[in-house]
């Protein structure tokens, strides 16, 4: 398509004149893969249509929330009803209580929950709560885990073990991250050394249990067990960032999966987002009553928001959670995701392309590497030029995956067997041309 007739290109040019990079969130700009972002005109089920009217099978699903696919009729109906009742009140509603009840019902570690508007806000507030509840300042995060763009969390590892991190963004003063210790994911020895040195000062360890921001890398069971043991022994809180994995990998989230391998396992604070809003701006953090009661207005930890518990967002989230709680929902979703991943694996093998993949529930990740990486440094060894070719090969043939190799993928209940088969057939051709 020539630039003059390509609506995506035209819109991108207009956007770039007014919006930094032409996008409202950096990864959408296709900087990692080059080319022109697709401007979405509408979406339904497993598909979206771009500004040129081209249909794509969507494996991003708004970066995770659209677990039922786009425009699920019962969710649309709930949102339409809510809209007629009012957009925002800045006052409590029954629906917030219902959503809190629904969240607490499925997550045994969560007795109380506070609703907010974005994952960034939820993670930032969870850290403040952990610090307020413990009276300590220092936190541990892991390289490659993303917890939103709050200042103290935009940090990369320092030069040596147990040194504090450096800001990854301009505008974050070094003093703001001086209490953030950045460690390697899945590295038990480093974690032990960090606790030996700083255990009494640590408010919390925050972790994506199945990381979705370095593609998909899961914490090993022994590593998770060590996180739990050390936090308990040293009086630090274990904060699970389940913004991506919550209600996405299983009804009980990633914590339910670790609890199967480690009986009695539970995090202290859970951060949620994405699926609980069903595509609307809604997130949450929750935990045991004794911790949550430290929050204002009951306790000294301040946190507030005009749009928190928004009535349209809660209607969307509640309708979504009701659908996914149906018996068999996650078994069917996991089967579908696994068949996609197996099919891609087979297509890559036929073409002699190194390929390793993992999936859980409706979330998947793959690497153009001979084996699954265990940490960020290993993820960084992926062949980004080859990924760019794969991405564009798929996109040109109507299959939309994340435009960066550091992102996980998502399958919804709306993806049909035929969609998966079509995707694998397309991938087979694209792999052969790589
Ligand atoms: N936080 C997402 C990447 N892991 C990007 C969100 C977006 O661009 O919409």
Q: Residue 234: which CATH number?
A: 3.40.640.10
274 is catalytic: yes
Q: How far out from the chain centre does Cα 131 lie?
A: 23
Provide the domain limits for residue 116: 73-324
Q: How many domains does the chain have?
A: 2
Q: Say if residue 126 is in the same domain as residue 246.
A: yes
Q: Say if residue 231 is in the same domain as residue 203.
A: yes
Average pLDDT on 315-344 reads 98
pLDDT at 302: 98
Q: Say if residue 96 is in the same domain as residue 191.
A: yes
Given the residues 47, 50, 58, 146, select the one marked as catalytic.
Answer: 146
Is residue 213 in contact with ligand 1, taking CB distance under 6 Å?
yes
1 located within any domain: no
Q: Say if residue 178 is in the same domain as residue 320.
A: yes
Closest ligand 1 atom, residue 213 Cα: 4
Choose the final residue of a domain: 298, 324, 350.
324
Q: Hey, what long-range contacts does 193-196 have (CB within 8 A, 24 or more apart)?
A: 193/161, 193/162, 194/140, 194/161, 194/162, 195/230, 195/233, 195/234
Q: In this structure, what CATH number is given to the domain that contains residue 411? A: 3.90.1150.10
Residue 160 has pLDDT above 80, yes or no: no
pLDDT at 63: 98
Q: What percent of the chain has pLDDT over 90?
A: 96
Which tokens hold the place of 95?
A: 């629906």
40 located within any domain: yes
- Give nearest CA residue, ligand 1 atom 2: 63
Neighbours of 87 (CB within 10 A): 10
Q: What percent of the chain has pLDDT over 70?
A: 98
Q: Say if residue 113 is in the same domain as residue 58.
A: no
Q: Say if residue 224 is in the same domain as residue 237.
A: yes
Choose the final residue of a domain: 324, 352, 373.
324
What pLDDT digit, counting tens, does each position of 355-409 carry?
A: 999 999 999 999 999 999 999 999 999 999 999 999 999 999 999 999 999 999 9
Q: What is the pTM of this model?
A: 0.97
413 located within any domain: yes
Average pLDDT on 175-189 reads 96
Q: Say if residue 343 is in the same domain as residue 306.
A: no
Average pLDDT on 268-283 reads 98
Residue 156 has pLDDT above 90, yes or no: no
pLDDT at 400: 98
Average pLDDT on 184-207 reads 97
**Secondary element (H or E) of residue 40:** strand 40-44
- Give nearest CA residue, ligand 1 atom 9: 25
Q: Say if residue 152 is in the same domain as residue 274.
A: yes
User: If pLDDT is split at 50, 70 and 90, which confidence band does 4 have?
Assistant: confident
Residue 2 has pLDDT above 70, yes or no: no
250 located within any domain: yes
pLDDT at 163: 56
134 located within any domain: yes
Choose the final residue of a domain: 324, 344, 360.
324
Q: Say if residue 187 is in the same domain as residue 199.
A: yes
Average pLDDT on 285-300 reads 98
- Give the residue among 368, 355, 348 at the shortest CA–CA distance from 427: 348
Is residue 28 in contact with ligand 1, taking CB distance under 6 Å?
yes
Closest ligand 1 atom, residue 25 Cα: 8
- Give nearest CA residue, ligand 1 atom 7: 25
Closest ligand 1 atom, residue 27 Cα: 8
293 located within any domain: yes
């Amino acid at each position: 398509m020539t630039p003059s007739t390509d609506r995506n290109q035209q819109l991108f040019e207009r956007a770039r004149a007014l919006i930094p990079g032409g996008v409202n969130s950096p990864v959408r700009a296709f900087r990692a893969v080059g080319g022109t972002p697709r401007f979405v005109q509408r979406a339904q089920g497993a598909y979206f249509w771009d500004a040129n009217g081209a249909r794509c099978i969507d494996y991003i699903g708004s970066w995770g929330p659209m677990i039922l696919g786009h425009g699920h009729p019962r969710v649309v109906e709930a949102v339409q009803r809510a809209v007629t009742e009012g957009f925002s009140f800045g006052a409590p509603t029954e629906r917030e209580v219902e959503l809190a009840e629904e969240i607490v019902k499925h997550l045994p570690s969560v007795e109380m929950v506070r609703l907010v508007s974005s994952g960034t806000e939820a993670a930032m507030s969870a850290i403040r709560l952990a610090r307020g509840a413990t009276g300590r300042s220092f936190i541990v995060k892991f390289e490659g885990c993303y917890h939103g763009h709050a200042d103290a969390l935009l940090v990369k590892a320092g030069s040596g073990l147990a040194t504090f991190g450096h800001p990854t963004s301009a505008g974050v003063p070094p003093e703001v991250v001086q209490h953030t210790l950045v460690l390697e994911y899945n590295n038990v020895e480093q974690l032990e050394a960090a606790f030996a040195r700083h255990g009494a000062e640590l408010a919390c360890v925050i972790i994506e249990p199945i990381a979705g921001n370095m593609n998909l890398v899961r914490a090993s069971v022994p590593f998770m067990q060590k996180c739990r043991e050390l936090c308990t022994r040293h009086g630090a809180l274990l904060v699970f960032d389940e913004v991506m994995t919550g209600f996405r990998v299983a009804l009980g989230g990633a914590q339910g999966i670790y609890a199967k391998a480690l009986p009695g396992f539970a995090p202290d604070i859970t951060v949620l987002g994405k699926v609980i809003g069903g595509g609307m701006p809604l997130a949450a953090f929750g935990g045991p009553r004794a911790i949550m009661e430290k929050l204002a207005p009951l306790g000294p930890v301040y946190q507030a928001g005009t749009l928190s518990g928004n009535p349209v967002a809660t209607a969307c989230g509640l309708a979504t959670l009701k659908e996914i709680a149906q018996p068999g929902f996650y078994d069917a979703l996991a089967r579908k995701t696994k068949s996609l991943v197996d099919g891609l694996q087979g297509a890559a093998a036929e073409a002699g392309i190194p390929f390793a993949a993992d999936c859980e529930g409706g979330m998947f990740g793959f690497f153009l590497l001979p084996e699954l990486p265990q940490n960020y440094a290993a993820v960084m060894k992926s062949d980004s030029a080859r990924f760019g070719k794969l991405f564009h090969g798929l996109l040109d043939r109507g299959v939309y995956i994340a435009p960066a190799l550091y992102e996980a993928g998502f399958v919804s209940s709306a993806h049909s067997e035929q969609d998966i088969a079509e995707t694998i057939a397309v991938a087979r051709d694209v792999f052969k041309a790589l």
